[in-house]
Amino acid sequence: MGVRTRGKARLAPLLSAHHFSPSEVAQFSTLGRMTPTLKAMIRERDIRRRRFENLAAGKIARGVWAREETPRRWWANVARMYRSRGWITKYAIANTPVPIGVGKPNPWGWYRACEKTHPDPKHVSPWVLGRRHGKTKLERGLMFVEVLEQRTKQGNPPTSTQLRLWIGQKENAVAKARGARKEQLRIELGRLERLLEGAS
């Protein structure tokens, strides 16, 4: 199967067909487009799957595995990949398209690793949203919004679902904040709301 596709609607089933896990599909389908990085990941996953199928065929033939065990053992194989490469979250990650809990495989760790050799020169990398630039919460929050605005200008905007999630988080933060922090959060909230208006 080839790896050419356009649009989020076609991206999710394509990734599933290449044996990406549901959590991987949930994260990467939000990209909305095929990237050079994602193409490299698909090739890597196809190689892993072929090796696994060869292994499984031998195990089943020798009676070591039952055929119905194959799906469970495949996902265990994928989980081992994340553990062996250190792509496991030490802290919960809330600012990804789908929040990732503590101690869970982090698909964006895999994405970052592949991006080093297969970057997307035309777009802002999606994982920069997880960076923690700046010395204060005010600076980090503003830079987060600026990255979103930059992505939008370059034709790679966040989805409406993502924006609504972040707007909800900002609204909760505004309700709890005081003083300068509250005013800054209101500014960030307004900018997020304008991005959502443009995406609607």
| pLDDT tens digit sequence for 9-67 | 689 999 999 999 999 998 898 887 899 999 999 999 999 999 999 999 999 999 999 99
Closest to 121 (Cα-Cα) out of 15, 37, 4: 37
86 with 137, same domain: the answer is no
Task: Please state, for a pLDDT cut of 70, what percent of the chain lies above it.
Answer: 83
101 with 186, same domain: the answer is no
Residues 6+ apart with CB under 8 A from 71: none
**Structurally, how many domains does the chain consist of?**
2
Residue 143 falls inside a structural domain: yes
DSSP state letter for 110: H
Evaluate if residue 182 carries a pLDDT over 90: no
What range does the domain containing 72 cover?
A: 8-115
Residue 155 falls inside a structural domain: yes
Residue 50 falls inside a structural domain: yes
80 with 159, same domain: the answer is no
50 with 89, same domain: the answer is yes
137 with 106, same domain: the answer is no
Residues 6+ apart with CB under 8 A from 75: 21
Residue 120 falls inside a structural domain: no
96 with 141, same domain: the answer is no
110 with 136, same domain: the answer is no
Average predicted confidence (pLDDT) for the chain: 83
Residue 191 falls inside a structural domain: yes
Q: In a 3-state reduction of DSSP, which class is residue 6?
A: strand
98 with 30, same domain: the answer is yes
139 with 185, same domain: the answer is yes
Residue 123 falls inside a structural domain: no
83 with 180, same domain: the answer is no
110 with 13, same domain: the answer is yes
- Residue 47 class from Cβ within 10 Å (0-12 exposed, 13-18 middle, 19+ buried)? exposed
76 with 28, same domain: the answer is yes
